[in-house]
Amino acid sequence: MAGDIADGREEALAELRELLADALANARLTKSQLAIRASLGRTTVSEAYQVGRPVPSAVTVAALARALKLPDEKRNLLLALRRRAAGESGDGPIVCGGPGRPVEEWDPHDLEVHPAGTEPGAGVRAVRALSGYVRRGHDEMLGEVVRAAVAGRSGMVMLVGSSSTGKTRACWEAVQPLAGAGWRLWHPFEPTRADAALADLEKVRARTVVWLNEAQHYLGDPNTGERVAAALHSLLTDTKRAPVVVLGTLWPEYVEKYTALPPPGAPDSHSRLRELLSGRTLIVPEAFDKAALDAARDFAAAGDELLRDALGRVEGHGRLAQDLAGGPELLRRYQQGTPSARALLEAAMDARRLGVDLHLPQAFLIAAADDYFTDHDYDYRSPDWAEVAFAALAEPVYGKQAPLTRTTTRPTRRPPGGPVPDEVTAPTGGGTVFRLADYLEQHGRAERWYLCPPASFWHAAHTHLTHAEDLTNLSLAAQQRWRRQWAHHLLQRALVTDTSNRGPRLIRMAEVWCVDCTIR
């Protein structure tokens, strides 16, 4: 009898792996690509397919089925096979009634989790990808609420943090243990979020996650917010409908507004909401601490390219979640931008990859952009094209990043009468300056490395750049790209603008180049 049971488990596991292998082949993916799609580690995915390895978890199977875009009936079959292989009771997913659908059927992006990128080479059929997930302190506290719900106690957590700090992703990761376990997830959304919540909160049944991302849309309306808060309170305290989990996200300014006591004599417009939030908020920090960054580096070392690239951009500030969330949108703003916006960004990309300082003068960018336009776009650009483009590129995306950010340089302070160090030299010569988003700078280095900037770029550099180091770097870049006349003039310009002790080095460089040109 025991042997028959063991044989049945082995058969179920073999069938599970066979179905997963067929789905992988039909999707034309590698296991590494599947790991990125499913937001799982490469080892986890490999072991799910490998004979002799343990039965994969329900969370893993659900994530793989979702990433492989399998239909509902195939997903349910895979989960049933996994349960049989693990010796768990039940032939199919246990699903309670009420609004929502099984957790394992949801795609994280449909729940407003920001993608961290797209699969390389995916083209028009690009698949939005998530990086590996780095757990932090708030994840453990969030997990405690979910574990308590599994044990039968309803709970609510409102994650509080500024834009793109990882709040929604943390909620998504927290509910993954509920996948394949009969839990539903309900995301009130239509016709409006508040209306949907008011209409169906009373219909929510046990083992349901109520998903309130951007909870101000549910709780902030002066006409409906208090009613939604009261309905949520009733749900959480109704033992007949327990257990349920309510997960939401809010920016700090909304929490401050909703929890502030009214002045004496003023109406209390958020009394129920203040009671609901009391003891149920959890702060998500702006930046990753050292331990979290070290964990992210481990993911990167194991092959997570999204984290590897992002880590190179966040040294010094640790705002890893913001970088991951904002990167794809920054790229979209560039790729789908107006011809004027693209011209300015490409000029900025070329300047940074060829050695110009972080702070790019506005006058330089406008003049450099001319030859980045096609003839048609150049003829039809409006007189205020630059003003309009700069305004559009200054609009922030997720994580408070913008493609081109207007900035200022910090003044350098030194003792009176002391020597002027090299770095005191003004990098731009005054005027308005902009900084290119790190994500776009990295994209430019990767995608434009083989391109030589057009003539307007070199002319603008010669005319508008005043930092000797910038001019020297561009002179070298021009020489390497066989733009020798520009190399000569840029180097001469560097000698004229140099106010440090680098002049002799620049002269020697010019002499070497002159000899090199004669030989060639």
Tens-digit pLDDT profile for residues 198-230: 999 999 999 999 999 999 999 987 778 999 999
Under the banding of pLDDT at 50, 70 and 90, the label for residue 130 is confident
- Predicted confidence at residue 375, as pLDDT, reads 94
| CA nearest to 422, candidates 501, 492, 509 | 501
Label residue 302 by pLDDT band (50, 70, 90).
confident
Q: Is 93's pLDDT higher than 70?
A: no
Above 50 in pLDDT, residue 427? Answer: no
pLDDT band at 422 (very low <50, low <70, confident <90, very high): very low
Whether the per-residue pLDDT at 381 is higher than 90: the answer is yes
Question: Residue 241: CB partners within 8 Å, gap ≥ 6?
Answer: 154, 204, 205, 206, 235
Range scoring the smallest mean pLDDT among 26-35, 173-182, 458-467: 26-35
- Residues 7 and 263: their CA atoms lie apart, in Å, by 71
Cα–Cα dist 262/174, whole Å: 35
Tell me, what's the pLDDT at 310? 85
Q: Cα Rg for the chain, rounded, in angstroms? A: 29
Q: Is the pLDDT of residue 94 over 70?
A: no
Say yes or no to pLDDT of 56 above 60. Answer: yes
Half-sphere exposure of 320 (CA within 13 A, CB side): 30
- Six-digit token pair at 132? 């590996």
What pTM did the predictor assign?
Answer: 0.66
**Rounded-to-integer distance, Cα 246 and Cα 392, Å:** 37
Distance CA 279, CA 294 (A): 31
Average pLDDT, the chain: 84
Angle at 108 between CA 102 and CA 111, to 5 degrees: 85
Q: Model confidence at 95, in pLDDT bands (50, 70, 90)?
A: very low
Residue 357's pLDDT is 87
Cβ-defined contacts of 388-397 (< 8 Å, 24+): 388/340, 389/338, 389/340, 389/341, 389/343, 389/344, 390/344, 390/362, 390/434, 392/337, 392/338, 392/341, 393/333, 393/337, 393/341, 393/344, 393/345, 397/326, 397/329, 397/330, 397/333
d(CA 354, CA 361): 15
Percent of the chain with pLDDT over 70: 85
What's the pLDDT at 361? 94
Q: Of the segments 213-227, 274-288, 393-407, which one has the largest average pLDDT value?
A: 274-288
Least Cα distance to 397 among 93, 167, 193, 164 occurs for 164
Assess whether pLDDT exceeds 80 at residue 416.
no
Can you give the length of the chain in residues?
520
Report DSSP letters for 114-127, one per residue.
PP-EE-TT-GGGPP
Give whole-number Cα distances, 99 to 93, 113, 344, 455, 471, in Å.
16, 21, 49, 62, 64
pLDDT top residue among 506 and 269: 269
Q: pLDDT-derived band of residue 265, with 50, 70 and 90 as boundaries?
A: confident
Per-residue pLDDT, averaged over 146-158, amounts to 95
Residue pLDDT, tens place only, 249-264: 999 999 999 999 988 8
Q: Are 468 and 502 in contact (CB under 8 A)?
A: yes
Evaluate if residue 97 carries a pLDDT over 80. no
The three-class DSSP label of residue 280 is: coil
Instruction: Using the predicted structure, report yes or no on whether residue 39 has a pLDDT greater than 90.
Output: no
Inform me whether the pLDDT recorded for 461 exceeds 90: yes
- Burial readout 48-83 (b: 16 or more C-beta within 10 A, e: otherwise): bbeeeeebbbbbbbbbbbbbbebeeeebbbbbbbbb
